[in-house]
Amino acid sequence: MRKIYKKLAGKNILFNHICEVGVFLPEYSNLIDFIRKGVRTTLIEADPDVAAKIRQYYREYPVTVHAVAIFTYNGTVEISRAAESTFVSSVTASPAMVNDRFSQSKQEVFTTECRLFSDLDGGDIDLISIDIEGCEWHVINTMISRPKIISVETHSKAYINPFMNEISSWMIDNNYEVWYKDLSDTVYVRKDQFKPGVIDKLQTGYSKGRVQWKRLKQTVKAWL
């Protein structure tokens, strides 16, 4: 059971349409528990081969799969394949680049269709999970919906999302606050839903401490 599903299980919140941008393999989906409960879902995955696996895996559920990358324009974009850390080649920072010192070869690059997220957003998304390796802001920036819950990959080890300032400002301007953080994601709640509790804040503090420790170890390792 994914943490986001487990933590939401005790909340009296109805989700009619959920979305995940950046799924990787279908069994890795951050929203898999909701999908299995029959919630209408939109899944967006840049790698067409992986998208085909997702479509097959969830064929018996109300799931729509888009085999596209989300970017700043409609067209095509170059992607660097790095398993679950696959990223748009032009990004300035991604977990694979910062944490894993990813070295790109020609065999690991492919071109895929890219779209503005607003073209795929009908304005009725209740929950969204975004994990696209440094391009999360490009989803949020054109998003029409105002989901009740927004999960964003913002950090991990030495990596900090290159658009963290823009994401934080958008959340404030659109009436969201941090619900909790884990080792890679920040999960935001729209303020009209509920107030984060003491346990949520303690969990966030603990996660921040672990991330800082991992970041320090990464820095020391780079010096050696």
> Tokens 């890219």 identify what position?
114
pLDDT attached to residue 25: 95
Cβ–Cβ under 8 Å, residues 2 and 32: yes
What are the φ/ψ torsions at residue 33 (nearest 5 degrees)? -65, -40
Distance CA 193, CA 222 (A): 43
Cβ–Cβ under 8 Å, residues 189 and 217: no
Give domain 3-223's CATH number out of 3.40.50.300, 3.10.290.10, 1.10.150.120, 3.40.50.150.
3.40.50.150
* Residue among 26, 86, 21 nearest 54 (CA): 26
Distance CA 23, CA 114 (A): 16
pLDDT attached to residue 68: 97
> Tokens 């528990």 identify what position?
33
Cβ–Cβ under 8 Å, residues 127 and 19: yes
- pLDDT tens digits, the chain, 224 residues: what are they? 899 999 999 899 999 999 999 999 999 999 999 999 999 999 999 999 999 999 999 999 999 999 999 999 999 999 888 776 677 776 766 665 655 566 665 558 889 999 999 999 999 999 999 999 889 999 999 999 999 999 999 987 778 899 999 999 999 999 999 999 998 999 999 999 999 988 887 877 767 676 676 566 555 565 65
Distance CA 175, CA 191 (A): 6
In this structure, the number of other CB atoms found within 10 A of the CB of residue 91 comes to: 17
* Three-state secondary-structure class, residue 173: helix
- Burial class of residue 215 in the structure, from the number of CB atoms within 10 Å of its CB (0-12 exposed, 13-18 middle, 19+ buried): middle
* Three-state secondary-structure class, residue 222: helix
